[in-house]
Amino acid sequence: MNKNVLLLSLCQALLTTGNVMLIAVSALIGQRLAPSPELITLPLALQFIGLMIATIPASLIMHRIGRQRGFVLGNCFGIAGALSCATALLETDFVFFCTGTFLLGIGIGFGTLYRFAAVDASPTGQQSRAISLVMAGGVIAALLGPYLAVTSNEWFTAVPFIGSFYSLVALYVLTLLILSRVDIPHIQHTHTHLPVRPLGQIIKQSTFIISVLTATIAYGVMNLLMSATPLAMARCGFAFEQAASVIQWHVLGMFVPSFFTGNLIQRFGAPVIMLCGAVCMLLCTAVNLQGQSEWHFLSALGLLGLGWNFMFIGATHHVTRAYRGDEQAKSQATNEFIIFSGVALSSLSSGWMEATLGWERMNQIAIPILFVATGAIIWLLLAQHKNATA
């Protein structure tokens, strides 16, 4: 794999490290600052709303000015958001903290396109492996994120969690330095004699619909349960360090499989891997419903991460079959907007559901949602088999 893909993988690792820290601390900060229990996860929800809002502009901006400059712009938003959050913690200002997480979300929205940039920079035939390698940068995040979340909390004991946001600033600055060494080719259009199709025609394809549906449900359910985990563990009497450890295993489950997910997709096809992911996520809910010991949280969140990896990377690979090169920008922007609209909704409801319905009920609600994705993937597999035998 070439240098650019490796550097993009490192950028993804630093971005995800920051995201893991935010997952570990945002709900707990919301618990300290929010005026009511229903607003505990509002800062995290606003992060994903900012991400959602940024997806379409980010893709279109990069289409115009190039991937590299777009990523630099996104990291600048991230630095501004992290500094705003740190200031809000000093002032114990919940509204300003929400503003900071919103800006962080915009920055992350640009960063979600690292995996597509890897496709642009990779040789022909290596696209799925490039996506997996970039996502595998999250393994570094799984080890570094929880460590920074715990240790940075000890650096500034007078203001809990403020060290996490100073660390976040450092991560974004380091990413800017790495991006200065990346040479991402400008998005090239595929020159064909075929007319560019309107967006409505692209998104009506079953390939696009099922890929986006799968990715949205995978990310939405994963985020719903992951965001509530620190709160559920705190209610069970576990320490912050124990919750951070569970999040660490979850993120390992999300990204360690990326080293071989691309190969699995090439061998068995994306729909089969997506189906395996849905089964893993269903097993996660089953484990969560069996108990609330540390072992239950660890094993369930590990399965949740693995299921997300298979479903999301499989869907990311499969959706690229729905559009041509000259339709790339608008198709990717729509894909990201739909996915992170669902994630924002899950974040907004996570704190309220955990506070009012409880941990077990949240997992029960996730089951029929996952069955929708499972049914859609099975339909796709049957349709492919029918076409192959026709």
Burial class (CB in 10 A: 0-12, 13-18, 19+), 262: buried
Question: Residue 132: which pLDDT band, with cuts at 50, 70 and 90?
Answer: low
- What is the rounded distance in angstroms from the CA atom of residue 347 to the CA atom of residue 213? 18
Question: Residue 193: which pLDDT band, with cuts at 50, 70 and 90?
Answer: low
Q: Give the relative orientation of helices 294-319 and 240-255 as an angle to the nearest 10 degrees.
A: 30
pLDDT at 128 (0 to 100): 63
Q: Looking at per-residue confidence, does 125 or 60 come out higher?
A: 60
Question: Residue 360: which pLDDT band, with cuts at 50, 70 and 90?
Answer: very high
* Beta-carbon count within 10 A of 293 CB: 11
Nearest to 126 by CA among 4, 209, 218: 4
Does the structure show a pLDDT above 80 at 1?
no
pLDDT at 51 (0 to 100): 85
State residue 63 phi and psi, 5-degree precision: -65, -30
State residue 180 phi and psi, 5-degree precision: -65, -15
DSSP assignments along 19-83, one per residue: HHHHHHHHHHHHHHH-SSGGGTTHHHHHHHHHHHHHHHHHHHHHHHH-HHHHHHHHHHHHHHHHH
**What does the pLDDT average to over 52-76?**
87
Q: Looking at per-residue confidence, does 276 or 36 come out higher?
A: 276
Amino acid type, 387: N
- Average pLDDT value for the chain: 86
Does the structure show a pLDDT above 80 at 32?
yes
Domain ranges of the chain: 3-184+198-389
- What is the rounded distance in angstroms from the CA atom of residue 322 to the CA atom of residue 211? 9
* Percent with pLDDT over 70 in the chain: 93
Does the structure show a pLDDT above 70 at 131?
no
Does the structure show a pLDDT above 90 at 371?
yes
pLDDT tens, position by position, 264-313: 998 999 999 999 999 999 999 999 999 999 899 999 999 999 999 999 98
pLDDT at 309 (0 to 100): 93
Question: Residue 48: which pLDDT band, with cuts at 50, 70 and 90?
Answer: confident
pLDDT at 20 (0 to 100): 82
CB 354 within 8 A of CB 220: no
pLDDT tens, position by position, 65-98: 888 899 999 999 999 999 999 999 999 999 999 9
CB 2 within 8 A of CB 120: no
- What is the rounded distance in angstroms from the CA atom of residue 122 to the CA atom of residue 247? 31
- What is the rounded distance in angstroms from the CA atom of residue 70 to the CA atom of residue 273? 31
* Percent with pLDDT over 90 in the chain: 36
Nearest to 184 by CA among 108, 71, 76: 71
Cα 383 to Cα 207, 272, 387, 389: the distances in Å are: 11, 13, 6, 10
Place of tokens 């993120």: 251
DSSP assignments along 226-275, one per residue: HHHHHHHHHHTT--HHHHHHHHHHHHHHHHTTHHHHHHHHHHH-HHHHHH
Question: Residue 135: which pLDDT band, with cuts at 50, 70 and 90?
Answer: low
Does the structure show a pLDDT above 90 at 56?
no
Amino acid type, 137: G
Does the structure show a pLDDT above 60 at 190?
no
Task: Please say whether the structural domain 3-184+198-389 has been given the CATH code 3.10.440.10.
Answer: no
Does the structure show a pLDDT above 80 at 109?
yes
CB 134 within 8 A of CB 10: no
pLDDT at 218 (0 to 100): 95
Q: By 3-state DSSP, what share of the chain in percent is helix, strand and coil, each rounded to 5?
A: 85, 0, 15
pLDDT at 387 (0 to 100): 80
pLDDT at 172 (0 to 100): 95
pLDDT tens, position by position, 235-258: 899 888 888 888 888 888 888 887
Does the structure show a pLDDT above 80 at 156?
no
Q: Looking at per-residue confidence, does 31 or 101 come out higher?
A: 101
**What does the pLDDT average to over 129-151?**
75
Exposure string over 195-208, b if 16+ CB within 10 A, otherwise e: eebeeeebbeeebb
The 8-class DSSP code of residue 14 comes to H
